[in-house]
Structure 1
């Protein structure tokens, strides 16, 4: 005999084998599905944001109580999504450098992560002292502006802070170039 949620049934003998992992839970909580869902929601409210509790598993536990089949369809680990977003932007950069054509942003883009990857690309190119051709710089800057405009709609404060960082970095770079030009010896006219 087995009981799952509100169903009771008999397991046929040929269905019992080592490939199943049966875990008895005990208690009467699983008799009333609504009560179980209320407990899960209360648990989530109590532990939400607690650094000692795995937040992803906490969310999954609530979804499982509502409808276990929804976990696969609804749950997405935000950490995994960040990696995907960074990879997407890296591919977009490669495409823009290779073709010289702009890549349109998508509504599903995490604009902060895409902007961060664009910054990292720029820093890496500067550290390698590997200049990017002006046409590619123009395409990359247009792409960056698209992300900044989209971020402005969602999170204006972050967008403005990033724009300030861009202005400061451009000023710093201009000063460095000016210092390099001044440090170079001037040719003597005889």
Structure 2
């Protein structure tokens, strides 16, 4: 790669879609790619849920008490926030503004209701919907993760059916039936929209 890199247009980039569609995998792959390092940064969301596995405060999420989260929401410190299943998630406004000011695009990996809220507040945000080719494939992935009981999977699939109806409202839809192809599609969209 050339040492002279084209300057990116700094934008908020939304990756959204149903749980299990692969948005987090695409998000993480993009951020670990040397091609996008320092040009696109992750937004560390705040949440009221407990850390899973090796997650650390400030790295994967900002783990907040329900009381602190409610205070930040009430005082307008989130670009968007939503209750998802049993927990609250929010995007801290200050970090997004600072990254944009410094010329870096900010990648948000958020649910559909959060994406809707961001698009209302930042109409020029680039919104990308990630989905599986079929609901059957989504179900297979959710079961394959082994992290949720059957009832939680049923609820996630019911929510996913509603979320899929939102796809036409996004700037771009990526069908994640093959991770490498989906990643190339994501890079193509970013090249077109940010370069």
Normalised by the size of structure 1, how large is the TM-score?
A: 0.24
Higher relative contact order (CA 8 A, sep 6+): 2
Greater strand content: 2
Between Structure 1 and Structure 2, whose CA radius of gyration is higher? Answer: 1
Normalised by the size of structure 2, how large is the TM-score?
A: 0.24
Greater helix content: 1
